[in-house]
Structure 1
Amino acid sequence: MASFSWLKDEKPTVVVPGMPPQWAPLDEPRKLEEDSGTYYRDINAAHYPLHPLEPAVRAVLAQSPDLALDEIDVFACGSTMGNLLRFAQKSDKPFQLVVETIGETVFLIRRENTLDEKMQGVVGYGHSFPQTYTKLDKSVKNAETHQRMINYDFAGFTCIVRYEADGFLPQDAGREVPKQGVQALPELDRLKLIPGGQAVPQESILEIKTRSSRKQLTLEQVLDGEIGRLWMRQVPNFVLAYHTNGVFNDVQVHDVRQQLDDWEKSHQEDVKLVSATLAKIVSLARQDPGRRFEACYSVPGVLEIRHVGGEFPRALPDDLVRIWASGALSDHSDEESDNAVGSDAEAGGELESDEEEEEDFTACSEACGYCGRCKYR
């Protein structure tokens, strides 16, 4: 639907639509260096803590100017949607996400311990292998990450989901986006937007995972821990690369569309619980659109609803709030759309108390009216 690439620059800079790295395996394998450097848990928040969702929203508006914004029910990311799946599966990994309503859309916003939280103890070749076995187009030669926004229906809700793409297969490269394919990008004080790159179809997008050949894990065993993520992101291609001391002699490219279909059919209970949970969150958000709240998960089977604690940025700056709340980009003049980030950009997050009764809506459905008073066993 839409995409953008983050560039390495002194000022936060994105290229729209950008371009993911192209799969380009080596002719002869060679020993790679292990991962080293700084890796962020949420690269969007680390690059642009002011409003981490802003680049994604501006990319959507630039590439889909006729989009009916009031028909978008949920704007989320692969992480927040994945969190709901982990909750449904009673994972032992805690999470929290912030829920904010703008117009008719409920935004699910990732929240880590800090906006620039770094991953600790990174080992292996999960970063060095993709960097070596893919190449960047000259239009995004300094890109650090490529972000895609896909649009699909889930549980009766129209969703836009942003996620990071590892790369694409060149045989489905698509075509270069004509100049009229991207609307005029606004000039902003804090965020630089550059037109460039080319459209890449979803069918060509791939995910990359590396494993040691000593563990002798099969494709099915590796996919068992990854297929839920791929399903939420609708990524159809999976690269599995096995190494021996950093030399990748076994690199496999798999079309996993059948596995995605099989997983969905065999995990209907999980899918239904994610659907019920999303429906409850949307229902709560629309009951009081001016209120932000957190969905917090720390005890398996229990999802707590709280006021937003501490400081956390608003989803969007003032100018985008006005556009999105109006329901259509066409309702705003070019001059208004080109305004720089509004007053809420400087305000930061607001402090909110935790006073209301917490609810557990683990097994809610239409039958109970999403009452939030039952527990899933």
Structure 2
Amino acid sequence: MPTRTAEMNGGQGALLDRLSIPEPRPGPVPKISGMKAVASYNWKEGKNPVIIVPGSPPHWKPTQLPFTVGDDTDPEYINLNGAKSPSSAFEPLLRALQLTSPTYPLHQVDIVTDRNNLRKLLRWLSRAHDLTPFRIDAELAGKGTVLLTRREERDVDLEARFRGFGHNFAKSYDFGNLAMLVRSHIDAMDAPPGPAAVEDLTLRFEDLSVNLTAFSNPPSQLSYIKTGPPVVEAWKLMEIKTRAEWKRDSLDWDEIYPQLLLSGTPMLVLGLHQRGTFGTIEQIHVTEIAKKQSKTAEEAMKGLKAVLAEMKTGRKLAFVCDEQGEMKVYERTVVDPKRELAKELLERFWAPEEEGDGESEEEEGEESEDGADTSEFEEMVRREKAKCFE
């Protein structure tokens, strides 16, 4: 198993810079607008890397209370895409995007990232007292798109008692004047009443063996099965959390709200238990959680946009945050080919007329203009149709 030093500090060259937390400044929090679901997939269980596109999150089925949940003895995936993908952790995202949104304009995106990276940056910006060291690698794709890749001490925790394959969901949106493509893990989706709420319609992906297709152009070790409903509507998505009942009043809303906001998840399902027996389940809308956000969290969202703009560079860099909250920027001198995207996938980030022109200068940031169907995330989720428990 890789050590923290090998995994978190490997391949670093010269120290180039140190990032400082931006000072508080007047003005509104940058808005998230134009949110749109563009791709989704599940990982199929097994040794061979196979994704199910578009796949489906598990359907949420209200359960008669109380009920007891036992321990899960399977290992926990800390970074499922990093553990399962045969090359870059972004390969399954780009392959799923190719199948579900083949005309999606990757060349217009500023930042491609996992939500996990954004949450780590927000903890740093908030000067969280329990900050865990982290590393994010940056790489230019096309003329002006930057891929932010999460790096973990290890991708699988063999000692944990929970394992979640979940559902990978990618959304595009504008954050201020930055065009974002953000992948996140989705726990569940709201299911309509009737048979769908009685039967588990998550699809028995582990039993699928037909229609297995290898990706080509370029060839890959990754294969796919195309099955499942269309990409799930945003208003149906749910984040599930569990807490001991006595910890209910100490929930960190500054941590929870950005998790929902940055992935466009409108509903939190909170299960409260006593020693594993659940007696209460709450369903809380993101607009209610927004009211609990502190001024510190609001300033962190302002700082996030500024830091992302600084990370948007044309060099291969490693952003490393230590236990003291110091963010150092290193040149990446040693590149692991097993972590790299194939050249043909990187070429998809070029505009059609720019392919192969060899240009690498960073595109000047221009404020994006919302189309007629663009609306603020907050307005979208107010109109959502998620139902409360009866």
Query: What's the TM-score, normalizing by structure 1?
Result: 0.70
Change (3 A) 1:75 1:280: same
Q: 1:6 corresponds to which letter in structure 2?
A: W
For residues 254 and 323 of structure 1, what CA distance do their matches in structure 2 show? 39
Contact 1:167 1:207 in 2 (8 A): yes
Change (3 A) 1:258 1:315: farther
Give RMSD over aligned pairs.
Answer: 2.9
Change (3 A) 1:244 1:261: closer
Within 5 A, what are the aligned runs for 1:96-107? 96-103=135-142, 104-107=144-147
Q: Match for residue 189 of structure 2?
A: 168
2:175 matched to 1:154? yes
Q: 1:148 corresponds to which letter in structure 2?
A: F
Output one character per residue of 1:115-140: Cα deviation in whole Å (capped at 9) or x when no partner. xx3337646xx76xxx8xxxxxxxxx
Q: Match for residue 322 of structure 2?
A: 298
Deviation at 1:237, TM superposition (A): 0.5
Return the structure number with greater helix share.
1
Output one character per residue of 1:65-118: Cα deviation in whole Å (capped at 9) or x when no partner. 22222111100001111122112112322110100001021000001124xx33
2:266 matched to 1:236? yes
Deviation at 1:196, TM superposition (A): 1.0
Fraction of identical pairs, as percent: 26
Contact 1:88 1:270 in 2 (8 A): yes
Contact 1:237 1:257 in 2 (8 A): no
Aligned residue-pair number? 294
Q: Match for residue 44 of structure 1?
A: 81
Q: Match for residue 206 of structure 1?
A: 238
Change (3 A) 1:121 1:189: closer
Match of 2:226 among 175, 195, 216: 195
Deviation at 1:277, TM superposition (A): 0.7
2:316 matched to 1:307? no
Contact 1:100 1:293 in 2 (8 A): yes
Q: 2:116 corresponds to which letter in structure 1?
A: S
Output one character per residue of 1:14-66: Cα deviation in whole Å (capped at 9) or x when no partner. 11111101101323543221232201210111111422110001112222222
For residues 71 and 33 of structure 1, what CA distance do their matches in structure 2 show? 47
Q: Give unpaired runs (5+ residues) of structure 1.
A: 132-143, 174-183, 333-377
Contact 1:231 1:260 in 2 (8 A): no
**Helix, strand or coil at the partner of 1:84:** helix
Contact 1:264 1:271 in 2 (8 A): no
For residues 35 and 265 of structure 1, what CA distance do their matches in structure 2 show? 38
For residues 235 and 303 of structure 1, what CA distance do their matches in structure 2 show? 29
2:339 matched to 1:318? no
Deviation at 1:221, TM superposition (A): 2.7
**Helix, strand or coil at the partner of 1:50:** coil
Match of 2:149 among 105, 109, 120: 109
For residues 151 and 265 of structure 1, what CA distance do their matches in structure 2 show? 26
Deviation at 1:245, TM superposition (A): 2.5
Deviation at 1:308, TM superposition (A): 2.5
Q: 1:5 corresponds to which letter in structure 2?
A: N
Change (3 A) 1:265 1:72: farther
Q: Give unpaired runs (5+ residues) of structure 2.
A: 1-36, 197-212, 357-390
Q: Match for residue 118 of structure 1?
A: 156
Deviation at 1:189, TM superposition (A): 4.2
**Helix, strand or coil at the partner of 1:206:** strand
Contact 1:101 1:292 in 2 (8 A): yes
Contact 1:87 1:300 in 2 (8 A): no
Query: What's the TM-score, normalizing by structure 2?
Result: 0.68
Q: 1:196 corresponds to which letter in structure 2?
A: T
Q: Match for residue 281 of structure 1?
A: 311
For residues 30 and 299 of structure 1, what CA distance do their matches in structure 2 show? 40
Q: 1:195 corresponds to which letter in structure 2?
A: K
For residues 309 and 83 of structure 1, what CA distance do their matches in structure 2 show? 24
Q: Match for residue 181 of structure 1?
A: none
Deviation at 1:166, TM superposition (A): 0.3
For residues 71 and 225 of structure 1, what CA distance do their matches in structure 2 show? 30
Contact 1:209 1:241 in 2 (8 A): yes
Change (3 A) 1:225 1:69: closer
